[in-house]
Structure 1
């Protein structure tokens, strides 16, 4: 499963959600709000329990941080223009 790069849309959905919330309620809500398939898959893999805040949920979503370093790899040390 590919890791999503931007979880801010999910963070906004969860910020407006009432907690505690069940896994099923969380998955249904992010699906309705149009979360990408990687996020929905990660949330479906969460344990079936009550979640008490957005941070507890966000821990289950892997974030692709390797892509953030990609532009740096293409630049030489002397080139600071980008």
Structure 2
């Protein structure tokens, strides 16, 4: 399940955290900062590990595909070629049938 929040909201809620920090410390800090339910849910879903930086958190948190995760032009181009949103399973993407399949259905 993905959270409908942004990295900026998560980082704002964790502004007072001292790294390295464990998952429980991150959750407690976010709750003390009055983080939204979505931010708390995103942090609840990360692995119970020690996080050394904001970048470690960004790699672990699962966000909505339309979130603010920065992507390079190459990554955006790859997404455009493949279709779908980042993280969308291949079997969920609309893919045109190969001409052979279309011919066999006639």
Question: TM-score, normalising length from structure 2?
Answer: 0.50
Measured on the aligned residues, the alpha-carbon RMSD in Å equals: 2.3
Runs (4 or more) in structure 1 with deviation over 2 Å come to 1-10, 12-16, 63-66
The CA deviation string for residues 9-34 of structure 1, in whole angstroms up to 9 with x for no partner, is 43134344211001000011001111
More deviation in 30-39 or 5-14? 5-14
Does the 8 Å CA contact 1:27/1:44 hold for their aligned counterparts? yes
* Structure-1 residue corresponding to 2:63: 62
Question: TM-score, normalising length from structure 1?
Answer: 0.62
How many residues align structurally?
Answer: 66
* Structure-2 residue corresponding to 1:23: 23
| Partner SS for 1:12 | helix
The CA deviation string for residues 21-50 of structure 1, in whole angstroms up to 9 with x for no partner, is 010000110011111111111111111110
Q: Any gaps of 5 or more consecutive residues in structure 2? A: 68-106
* Structure-1 residue corresponding to 2:53: 53
The structure with more radius of gyration = 2
Tell me: higher relative CO, structure 1 or 2? Use CA pairs within 8 A at least 6 residues apart: 1
